[in-house]
């Protein structure tokens, strides 16, 4: 099979594996705060070590700061679009915010996959992205499952995060040379701002009480360490 055709297939594999693991985890409520903290660790590390440096390489600092500000405002807009209700509760609200953040984050990743000048380069980028999409899949499927109890819906909603990646890949193949580099930098910073805000506002304080929050810190550090290890493996 042509390597260009392997790229979208590899892009789907990460969310597929992560979503499957996420819905197969034991349904224990005390796991939820730790999973959310783990997700916060992965999202914060990706934002500070991957997205913000990439944005600074593509656009001037003012553009990066503007993108970060738009990302923060984007979270406020998502709060208005996804209000908490008595029936849904905070857990479902948090799960949907995470889902929206990951989907927005995956669009520029798809464009990045199409940016390679050779098919082999694109395939290597796709493998790198799919590898860190596995923990993202776990951290989007499991919280929604715990919040709603709907295993099938949690799996397919989490798996749907690969759709923006595929859309970004298609757009990148068609329009990569037409997208101004500073614009890509600002978009990347915007995604970082969105992910940082959701992590700090929704995911880390998810455990009720100071003691519960402290108990989630090992999970947060595990998320950080996982991304650092994956960076070393992929480098």
- 108-140: pLDDT as tens digits: 777 767 755 455 556 655 666 676 677 778 878
> And the tokens for 148?
């709603």
Q: Is the pLDDT assigned to residue 68 strictly greater than 60?
A: yes
Domain-embedded: residue 91: yes
How far is the CA of 217 from the CAs of 35, 63, 210, in angstroms? 11, 33, 11
Average of pLDDT values for 170-175?
80
Q: How is residue 19 written in tokens?
A: 């979503």
Which pLDDT belongs to residue 228? 87
- Does 25 map to a domain? no
Query: What is the overall mean pLDDT for the chain?
Result: 78
Residue 169 domain flag:
yes
Side-chain-facing half-sphere of 133: CA atoms under 13 Å:
31
Please give the average per-residue pLDDT across 52-81, as a whole number.
Answer: 89
Domain that holds residue 42: 3-20+38-234
Contact indicator for 195, 105 with CB cutoff of 8 Å: yes
Count how many domains the chain has.
1
CA dist 146 to 16, 50, 68, 143, Å?
Answer: 19, 30, 31, 5
């Amino acid at each position: 099979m042509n390597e260009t055709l392997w790229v979208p297939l590899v892009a789907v594999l990460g969310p597929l594996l992560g979503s499957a693991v996420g819905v197969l985890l034991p349904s224990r409520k005390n796991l939820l705060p730790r999973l959310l903290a783990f997700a916060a660790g992965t999202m914060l590390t990706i934002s500070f070590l991957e997205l913000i440096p990439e944005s600074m390489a593509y656009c001037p600092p003012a553009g990066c700061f503007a993108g970060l500000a738009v990302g923060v405002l984007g979270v406020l807009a998502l709060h208005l679009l996804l209000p908490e209700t008595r029936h849904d509760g905070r857990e479902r609200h948090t799960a949907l915010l995470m889902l929206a953040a990951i989907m927005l984050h995956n669009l520029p990743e798809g464009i990045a996959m199409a940016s390679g000048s050779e098919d082999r380069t694109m395939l290597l980028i796709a493998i790198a992205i799919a590898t860190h999409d596995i923990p993202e899949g776990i951290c989007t499927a499991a919280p929604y499952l715990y919040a709603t109890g709907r295993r099938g819906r949690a799996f397919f909603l989490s798996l749907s995060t690969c759709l923006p990646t595929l859309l970004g890949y298609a757009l990148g193949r068609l329009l990569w040379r037409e997208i101004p580099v500073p614009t890509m930098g600002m978009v990347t910073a915007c995604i970082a701002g969105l992910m940082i805000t959701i992590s700090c506002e929704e995911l880390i304080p998810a455990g009720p009480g100071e003691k519960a929050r402290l108990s989630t810190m090992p999970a947060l550090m595990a998320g950080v360490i996982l991304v650092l290890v994956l960076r070393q493996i992929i480098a």
